[in-house]
Structure 1
Amino acid sequence: MENNVLEFECVGLNNGGKFPIENTGRGKDISPEFIIQNLSTRAVTLMITLEDLSHPIKGFTHWIIWNIPARDRITKAIPSGKSISSLQGAVQGIGYGFHCYAGPKPPKGKSHKYCFTVYVLDCKLDLSPFSFKRKVLSKANRHIIQEGKIYGYFE
């Protein structure tokens, strides 16, 4: 039986730890590197979301990217853009990061909790880069074969 809980590492961020400054809006604001450890043999693509769980808007989306070809490593500093050629056409949608990664940047003096979720899908998604998380997740829902989360804090 296949394990549907995805194990992954977000380089520089221990689960429940503090975000590295370079991955925040107060640093270089670059996406971290991800190392996937138990990827399903049925995996076709990966999708990643970054949500601010402390934001007044529940599950406020900082970043969403999908159609990353299934692989065990996603390099850091994914560039801005609707379609990422270095990731064979992976698509970045609409969030706080408009077609780009937008790291944590809560109001000064406030600590916010964030969550990276990596989804493993058995297909590619045919969606506009102008799609929001709700639409992407709705389309992906029946195709998610693994999922994993890492939480972090930033002040």
Structure 2
Amino acid sequence: MGNFTLKSVFGNNETIPKKYTCDGDDLSPPLSWEGRPEGTVSYVLIVDDPDAPAGTFTHWVLYNIPGDLNSLPEGVPQGKEVKYGYQGRNDFGAYGYGGPCPPRGKPHRYFFKLYALDTKLDLPPGAKRVDVERAMKGHVIGEAQLIGLYGRG
């Protein structure tokens, strides 16, 4: 098995460009990955901010991404069911991506976590993150991570 890696237009531990945040167009950034683990049937993508004042804030839950995909384009639309899989509810209350929007002060870290699974999840579109994580248990065969930073002065 090769190295399973996740990339975007920003490098690991680099600043997320404004267009992918609430201060810009709030588009999801383009993502690509390499080193697909053998036996991958689907992927799950979870984006969260562990530095949020009230505890970890979920920005995106995308699951049942087809196992033969190796990228997501910029600007995946909102909605429970999209071309790239099913989207769960984020902590803004929407289905899909919600960009970084931290309070003023120290930059926050945004973890883009891509999980390779040996199955498709038996969940309807619009599932909660907790249910996605529960359904993933015992099926994760690889994990790739990218950390982006964003702060508002």
Structures share a fold, TM > 0.5? yes
Alignment of 1:61-100 (within 5 A): 61-70=58-67, 71-84=69-82, 86-87=83-84, 90-97=85-92, 98-100=94-96
| Distance (whole Å) between structure 1 residues aligned to residue 113 and residue 37 of structure 2 | 16
| Distance (whole Å) between structure 1 residues aligned to residue 22 and residue 46 of structure 2 | 16
1:131 positional shift: 2.3
CA root-mean-square deviation: 1.5
Secondary structure of the structure 1 residue equivalent to 2:138: helix
1:131 corresponds in structure 2 to 127
The AA in structure 2 aligned to 1:53 is P
Between Structure 1 and Structure 2, how many residues are aligned? 149
| Superimposed CA distance per residue, residues 5-33 of structure 1 (whole angstroms, 9 cap, x where no aligned partner) | 621212x1110010111111111111111
Q: Which runs of 5+ in 2 are unaligned?
A: none
1:146 positional shift: 0.6
Secondary structure of the structure 2 residue equivalent to 1:142: coil
Return the TM-score normalized by structure 1. Answer: 0.89
Alignment of 1:37-76 (within 5 A): 37-70=34-67, 71-76=69-74
1:72 positional shift: 1.5
Percent identity of paired positions between Structure 1 and Structure 2: 30
Q: Which runs of 5+ in 1 are unaligned?
A: none
| Distance (whole Å) between structure 2 residues aligned to residue 137 and residue 31 of structure 1 | 21
Task: Identify the range of structure 1 (17-26 vs 91-100) with the bigger mean alpha-carbon deviation.
Answer: 91-100
